[in-house]
């Protein structure tokens, strides 16, 4: 039939598109397109016409679509896709629409994702729009450096940066992107700055950063309303008020990383548990085996801090800190702490990593220090009031709580609170039970203390601290008593991982839901261990450059290709 069409045999319709004409058979067009079927069989005046003029379709696109209707084959390229897709959408040729959307999805990169999303929305391609928006969320850090981002309207920008799913290592990236967007067209955009700034989660910026912006950022200093807004947030943070906004939760693989531990000797094991598919994966091993270490996620990396290498022929406490890159699956050393710390408490506050207590040999520490990943330096802070090894630490409202531990003679029920603005420690209410080696975590403005050892036995109890009332209450107990376990918080649940039950090193994972005050069984670790540490991160995506043309997709005007692009891995 295509041969007959090409020789104008038995054709009964001429489609006039721009300055070109296409002869075809009505029955073929109607069979391939609901648009033409309605035109030729629906009682419209075109039913009896031998010539039909089509508007809104380019001759190039029409030629490709007619060829597809006769042969079932079409070649989509960078030069034609943004002409073919609108035409196929209008003519309701679903196979071509799907092929174009698949092609555009494969072309997504930081330079064109915003344009492709707008193009997909304009033409009602919901699946492509969803995937383009997901790509924008996951690659925001790269996309905000591109021209498309700088050309967003204020409404589009606000809609983007309000998303929970933005994949950023810290909120400073969003703030800096907004400042860059304003500078791009400062005269017209400064009046919109306050509205845009309110979409940034400034409550997760550090007071030091806010203070610097109010003092030095010319955009902020020229706009009293912006300065007043940031000043109020600064005041709330320094008064340690409860934050009224939630942290971002990127749509990326969510991983619980578990490092080191002890099973007859110290381990160099490093594993990741994928929350979404309930699988454990072995990753690059720790540079040195160690147990009693601390682990934290900070600015896109996992940090392993301190611990002890208790292996055959070797036993020493460590002052080391190693940085793990989740994208490259590699470790590298960082500047060491001022002193070795075994069974150390580690947490993150204001973009800095804190290491509290621990021991060196038989010496128990009350000292603490903090690490700045940007400068790779440690600074000592005020020492705790008590020596604490096997201490658990957690942060709520920019206050660090050091919970329980062992002072060299006794297990402790005391809890200390560190104020970074005053560099001072103060006691808060004691726990009901003394314990060391407990799992400690912050969840929903409460501190949970799980398990531990009281000097005579392992515990299955769970205590919860409310900083606003300065009171401890008991929650539902675990099914297995244990100490030297680790905790991870994700999806508003607490994962209690491994530990020692008094006789065995266990691999059990239990999951606590605070809404029901109950524990359920999780997927166990590949092997039992104690003295390990855990941290949660949202896996960031990487871009690996590859050869090939780039598609710039802007609905107004039609796109033109450039010479190179990066392709997501």
Longest dimension (CA), the chain: 101
CB-CB contact of 108 with 73 (8 Å) = no
What does the CA dihedral 315, 317, 321, 325 come to, rounded to 10 degrees?
Answer: 30
Beta bridge partners of residue 406, listed in sequence order:
389, 411
Query: What radius of gyration, in Å, describes the C-alpha atoms of the chain?
Result: 30
Of the listed ranges 272-281, 377-386, 547-556, the one predicted with least confidence: 547-556
- Three-class SS state of 561: strand
Beta-strand relationship, 330-333 and 279-282 = unpaired
Supply the pTM of this predicted model. 0.85
CA distance 342 to 308: 6
Q: Which two tokens stand for residue 503?
A: 């006789």
Inform me whether the pLDDT recorded for 475 exceeds 90.
yes
Inform me whether the pLDDT recorded for 554 exceeds 70.
no
CB-CB contact of 29 with 46 (8 Å) = no
Higher local confidence (pLDDT), 558 or 288: 288
Of 454, 365, 457, the closest CA to residue 408 belongs to 365
CA distance 230 to 224: 10
> Residue 423: exposed, middle, or buried by beta-carbon count in 10 A (0-12, 13-18, 19+)?
exposed
Residue 229 has a pLDDT of 96
CB atoms within 10 A of CB 457: 11
What value does the mean pLDDT take over residues 388-392?
Answer: 98
What value does the mean pLDDT take over residues 248-271?
Answer: 93
Inform me whether the pLDDT recorded for 543 exceeds 60.
no
What residues have CB less than 8 Å from 541, skipping those under 6 apart?
138, 139, 167, 252, 327, 568, 569
Phi first, then psi: give them for residue 326, nearest 5 degrees: -65, -25
- Write out pLDDT tens, residues 291-330: 999 999 999 999 999 999 998 888 999 999 999 999 999 9
Q: Which two tokens stand for residue 150?
A: 């700088």
CB-CB contact of 292 with 342 (8 Å) = yes
Residue 198 has a pLDDT of 95
What residues have CB less than 8 Å from 99, skipping those under 6 apart?
74, 76
Percent of the chain with pLDDT over 90: 84
How many residues in total does the chain contain?
569
What value does the mean pLDDT take over residues 527-549?
Answer: 67
What's the mean pLDDT when you consider all of the chain? 91
- Three-class SS state of 462: strand
What value does the mean pLDDT take over residues 198-205?
Answer: 96
Percent of the chain with pLDDT over 70: 94
Residue 59 has a pLDDT of 93
What residues have CB less than 8 Å from 273, skipping those under 6 apart?
255, 256, 257, 258, 279, 280, 281, 523, 525
Inform me whether the pLDDT recorded for 550 exceeds 70.
no
């Amino acid at each position: 039939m295509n041969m007959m069409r090409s020789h104008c045999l038995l054709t009964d319709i001429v489609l006039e598109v721009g300055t070109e004409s296409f002869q075809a058979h009505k029955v073929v067009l109607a069979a391939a397109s609901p648009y033409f079927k309605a035109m030729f069989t629906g009682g419209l005046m075109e039913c009896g016409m031998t010539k039909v003029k089509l508007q809104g379709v380019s001759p190039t696109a029409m030629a490709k679509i007619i060829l597809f209707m006769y042969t079932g084959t079409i070649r989509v390229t960078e030069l034609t896709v943004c002409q073919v897709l609108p035409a196929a959408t209008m003519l309701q040729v679903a196979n071509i629409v799907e092929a174009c959307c698949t092609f555009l999805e494969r072309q997504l990169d930081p330079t064109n994702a915003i344009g492709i999303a707008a193009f997909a929305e304009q033409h009602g391609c919901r699946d492509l729009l969803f995937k383009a928006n997901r790509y924008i969320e996951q690659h925001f850090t790269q996309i905000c450096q591109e021209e498309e981002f700088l050309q967003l309207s204020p409404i589009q920008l606000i809609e983007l940066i309000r998303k929970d799913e933005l994949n950023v290592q810290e909120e400073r990236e969003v703030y800096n992107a907004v400042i860059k967007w304003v500078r791009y067209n400062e005269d017209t955009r400064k009046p919109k700055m306050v509205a845009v700034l309110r979409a940034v989660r400034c409550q997760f910026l550090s007071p030091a950063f806010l203070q610097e912006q109010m003092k030095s950022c010319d955009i902020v200093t020229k706009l009293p309303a912006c300065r007043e807004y940031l000043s109020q947030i600064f005041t709330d943070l320094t008064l340690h008020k409860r934050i009224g906004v939630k942290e971002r939760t990127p749509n990326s693989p969510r991983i619980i990383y578990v490092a080191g531990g002890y099973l007859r000797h110290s381990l160099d094991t490093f594993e990741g548990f994928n929350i979404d598919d309930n699988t454990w994966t072995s990753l690059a091993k720790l540079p040195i085996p160690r147990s009693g270490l601390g682990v934290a996620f900070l600015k896109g990396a996992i940090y392993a801090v301190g611990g002890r290498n208790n292996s055959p022929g070797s036993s020493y406490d460590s002052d080391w800190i190693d940085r793990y890159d989740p994208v490259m699956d590699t470790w590298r050393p960082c500047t060491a702490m001022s002193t070795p710390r075994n069974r150390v408490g580690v947490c993150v506050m204001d973009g800095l990593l804190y290491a509290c207590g621990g021991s060196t040999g038989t010496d128990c520490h009350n000292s603490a220090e903090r690490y700045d990943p940007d400068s790779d330096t440690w600074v000592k802070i005020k020492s705790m009031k008590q020596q604490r090894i096997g201490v658990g630490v957690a942060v709520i409202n920019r206050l660090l709580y050091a919970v329980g531990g062992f002072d060299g003679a006794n297990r402790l029920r005391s809890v200390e609170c560190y104020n970074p603005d005053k560099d001072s420690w103060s006691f808060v209410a004691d726990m009901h039970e003394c314990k060391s080696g407990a799992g400690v975590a912050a969840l929903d403005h409460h501190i949970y203390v799980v398990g531990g050892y009281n000097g005579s036995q392992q515990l299955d109890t769970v205590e919860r601290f409310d900083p606003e009332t300065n009171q401890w209450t008991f929650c539902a107990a675990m099914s297995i008593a244990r100490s030297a376990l680790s905790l991870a918080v994700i999806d508003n649940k607490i994962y209690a991982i491994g530990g020692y039950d008094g006789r065995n090193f266990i691999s059990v994972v239990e999951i606590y839901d605070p809404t029901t005050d109950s524990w359920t069984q999780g997927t166990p670790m590949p092997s039992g261990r104690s003295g390990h540490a855990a941290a949660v991160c949202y896996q960031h995506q990487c871009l690996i450059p590859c050869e090939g043309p780039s598609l710039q997709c802007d609905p107004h005007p039609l796109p033109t290709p450039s010479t190179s692009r990066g392709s997501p891995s």
